[in-house]
Structure 1
Amino acid sequence: MAQHTNTSKFIGFSTYLIHQDSIESPMFDSLVSQTNLVERAIRRSRSRLSHFKSILKLPDHAKEISDIESTLVKTPEEYLMEISIGTPPVKQLATIDTASVIVWTQCLPCMKCYEQIQPMFNSRNSLTYNVLRCNTTQCKSLERHNIHGCLEATHKCEYKVTYKDKSITYGDLALETYKIGNTLLPNMVYGCSNANKGGFDMNTAGIIGLGRGPLSLVGQLGHLIRGKFSYCLVNWMERNTRSKISFGANAIVSGRGTVSTRLVSKYPFHLYYVTLEAITIQNKRIKRVTKSIENKKIVEKGNMVIDSGSMLTYLPTDMYQELEDELISAIGVAIPVQNPSEADYKLCYKNTTNIQFPTIIFHFAGGANLALTSTSTTIRYMDLTCLVIVPDNDLGVAIFGHMSQMDYLIGYDLKNWKIYFKPTDCSMHQI
């Protein structure tokens, strides 16, 4: 039975995350080989990297007047989340994005909707659907993002998001009831997308934004969940498994082995930044130097983005090269081979050599040391074992991808502005 929220309480609820290549995903294809799965994930990571480059490399004057319309890039996402919308509730699978700040799905009646495999939500059939007016606080909160509009005849609030690839999602901004897990969440701001243009994926109903912002899912639930959400990601190559996402009281990460580091606020403000200080392999410590002041090299705060949308972890080229050199030295006898494909991997070995990748420790500010074993730093690709950490020198910040996050319970505390990590067998961390 669904539980209604009490706005004076600290609530907690959980649901599953479904990787887009898992058996439960509408994108599942049993005929796709492991090699093709990895290649698809690489393409998504590459698209995601381009997304970050487009928003992180804006000139300073653009940053001063930036808005969501000028910074959003539609990219293929890795994980789907089940959310039910309306009364009676209609189940939708939508992509989660820790870099998006609004919740929208396609919505009937539709002027121009893209083809969607799932049943589409029909706002006319919902008893709790209520379009917002232009003078409401929620509608006005979109002004600084330049994604809201107003129909003068009806004073109806509308939103419009234009992505970098010229795709557009447009529709009414409304209040609606969500159901996540067994918890009903009334009066949530919802983008009823009834006009779309461009290359949207028929397998997903829309986007669930988990980024910083008043109208993202976590932003709206701030007073109920006290700014807390967490997830635990299983190995996505095991296609019959689920990951878990939790909110509020269910998202507290504590106990033996838990470490934390501070989140850093910087442009663009809807992303989650942390400070990577160094990486250690065996006894070799590789420092992350990003700034020079008066001939002193220091670590710049907020030099890494925690991202759920990229499989790969990206490091600056100089830091990566030190890492690769130390790995080759530590592995010893085996000789790395040239990656023969168009994949982005730089360090690969033949599977027949039976090599052992050493543990790689990421050191974050505040003493948060994450020990990553080969299961979260390497992947089988064709007849190779390859490192999923790769170089990129054009980004300005590093990206901590979702393979590096596997088998850690990761908790975001946006009230105290911290992120927590706890080593966890995520396959056992179920609802």
Structure 2
Amino acid sequence: MLEILDRDQKRASLMVSRQRYGKNQVQLRWQDSTYVINVGIGTPKRMFTFNIDTGSDLLWIQCLPCKLGKPNHDCYQPKRPLFDPSKSSTYTKITCPSHTCSLTNTTLGYTQCVSSSCTYLGAYLDGSLIFGYMAKETLFVGSKTFKGIMFGCNEVTFNATLDKTDGIIGLGQGFLSFVEQTSNTYNKVFSYCLPSNPNRVGFLRFGKTKRVSKSLKFTKLGRDNAIELTGIKVGSTTIPITVKKDTAFIDSGTVITRLPSKDYIKLREAYRKAMTGYRFVGAISVADTCYNVGGHKKLKLPRMSFLFADGLLLDIPPSGVVIPYNSTVVCFPFAATPETPGGEDFVLLGNYQQRTLEVVYDVAGGKLGFGHGGCK
């Protein structure tokens, strides 16, 4: 009887989950300050965990044999079995030379023919490098099945920091992005809500829906998910953000929001003035403004907002105004953008300031929407 009841409980949970999240929606979970979903791949289907990343295009998973035929290469080993393409009847390598491989080169910047197969080399802002075969496979996202999705079957990884996931699903605007590859189904529209802690769940939804936040408001979305951020308010003080066009981006992979150094210093000073009721304890790592809040039952935090060029004023959720270091110390969740070789100033709107918001990407319409209370 216990076995029957256990199976029945699992089925009931699955049915409730389908009703809540719908055919085009999957659960989104917080894992080590990144956000992950479960995706099925191959035939027969096997489930894997992917980080979502709006700042890149390639969908990739770590594959066996994990060496690209060369010894002494790093093999990124997640804490789960790797994807074995030899056991999937729907796996096909992308050949080379071919038009598809050439288009891949324009997106990733580097492809090479190896034994008539299209290989790739990809790089991330944190210094990670990936190397593998371009291929096509069947993917299962929510209750939808997509055949012939192009992806990277990764075999070599250098400096990987993803030790608890199996790969990345790129949600950028390039040729290889899952958003672009499913454009005939979802019209380049997707949305998410990032939960504020590991004990809560959010969602990743593809396509348009009537189930949106009542407070949803839109601003312009540009190429590569560029945004037109013009200022940040701390209380009644407005700090102008001075960057060139197409150098400010919204990014699900960056944790805390990054600003040009000159703008960050002004914002930091306004924040410090608003936090004088707490004991300043200096810097912890890149967070240079931290406070001891022990003994305070309820924190009195400054109200902060993002200002956009078209007039949108977006209040930052309270969870995006401080980042906890431990039970008594909190820090300012903004930082200066690392210097680039060309000296350009960039803005990265990080996931910490997006938490609990419903964020809607209408790539085809060139719009980005924000609504409060999105995870409810």
What TM-score, normalized to structure 2?
0.81
CA distance 1:330–1:95, shift in 2 (3 Å): closer
Displacement of 1:256 in angstroms is 3.0
- 5+ residue gaps, structure 1, are 2-10, 22-40, 42-77, 266-270, 291-299
CA distance 1:349–1:327, shift in 2 (3 Å): farther
Q: Which residue of 2 aligns with 1:121?
A: 83
- In the alignment, the residues of structure 1 paired with residue 290 and residue 58 of structure 2 have an alpha-carbon distance, to the nearest angstrom, of 38
Q: Which residue of 1 aligns with 2:331?
A: 386
Displacement of 1:393 in angstroms is 7.2
- In the alignment, the residues of structure 2 paired with residue 162 and residue 326 of structure 1 have an alpha-carbon distance, to the nearest angstrom, of 36
Displacement of 1:309 in angstroms is 1.5
CA contact (8 A) 1:253 1:410 kept: no
Higher mean Cα deviation, 411-420 or 165-174?
165-174
Residue 211, structure 1, aligned to residue 169, structure 2? no
- In the alignment, the residues of structure 2 paired with residue 234 and residue 204 of structure 1 have an alpha-carbon distance, to the nearest angstrom, of 18
CA RMSD of aligned residues (A): 2.9
- Residues 294-335 of structure 1 show CA distances to partners (whole Å, capped at 9, x for unaligned) of xxxxxx433422111222112233433433443444456x25
Residue 339, structure 1, aligned to residue 339, structure 2? no
User: What letter matches 1:198 in structure 2?
Assistant: F
User: Aligned runs of 1:240-389 on 2, under 5 Å?
Assistant: 240-250=199-209, 256-265=214-223, 271-290=224-243, 300-331=244-275, 334-339=277-282, 341-342=284-285, 344-353=287-296, 355-382=299-326, 383-389=328-334
Displacement of 1:420 in angstroms is 0.7
Displacement of 1:257 in angstroms is 1.7
User: Aligned runs of 1:15-414 on 2, under 5 Å?
Assistant: 15-21=26-32, 78-111=34-67, 113-144=75-106, 145-151=108-114, 155-161=116-122, 168-193=129-154, 195-200=155-160, 201-236=162-197, 239-250=198-209, 256-265=214-223, 271-290=224-243, 300-331=244-275, 334-339=277-282, 341-342=284-285, 344-353=287-296, 355-382=299-326, 383-392=328-337, 394=339, 396-414=345-363
Q: Which residue of 1 aligns with 2:24?
A: 13
Displacement of 1:285 in angstroms is 2.5
Displacement of 1:167 in angstroms is 5.9
Displacement of 1:217 in angstroms is 1.2
Higher mean Cα deviation, 351-360 or 240-249?
351-360
CA distance 1:325–1:156, shift in 2 (3 Å): closer
- 5+ residue gaps, structure 2, are 1-10, 12-21, 69-74
CA distance 1:349–1:391, shift in 2 (3 Å): farther
User: What letter matches 2:44 in structure 1?
Assistant: P
Residue 422, structure 1, aligned to residue 371, structure 2? yes
CA contact (8 A) 1:12 1:225 kept: no
Displacement of 1:85 in angstroms is 0.6
User: What letter matches 2:281 in structure 1?
Assistant: Q
Give the count of matched residue pairs: 343
- In the alignment, the residues of structure 2 paired with residue 349 and residue 135 of structure 1 have an alpha-carbon distance, to the nearest angstrom, of 60
CA contact (8 A) 1:324 1:347 kept: no
Displacement of 1:371 in angstroms is 0.8
Higher mean Cα deviation, 220-229 or 308-317?
308-317
CA contact (8 A) 1:307 1:400 kept: yes
CA contact (8 A) 2:66 2:156 kept: no
- In the alignment, the residues of structure 2 paired with residue 15 and residue 419 of structure 1 have an alpha-carbon distance, to the nearest angstrom, of 20
Q: Which residue of 1 aligns with 2:3?
A: none
CA distance 1:373–1:138, shift in 2 (3 Å): same
- In the alignment, the residues of structure 2 paired with residue 218 and residue 324 of structure 1 have an alpha-carbon distance, to the nearest angstrom, of 36
| 3-state SS of 2:180 partner | helix
- Residues 244-285 of structure 1 show CA distances to partners (whole Å, capped at 9, x for unaligned) of 1111134x77563221111233xxxxx421111222233333
Displacement of 1:388 in angstroms is 1.1
CA contact (8 A) 2:278 2:291 kept: no
- In the alignment, the residues of structure 1 paired with residue 188 and residue 44 of structure 2 have an alpha-carbon distance, to the nearest angstrom, of 28
Higher mean Cα deviation, 407-416 or 345-354?
345-354
CA contact (8 A) 1:230 1:412 kept: yes
Displacement of 1:156 in angstroms is 3.0
CA contact (8 A) 1:263 1:302 kept: no
User: What letter matches 2:353 in structure 1?
Assistant: S
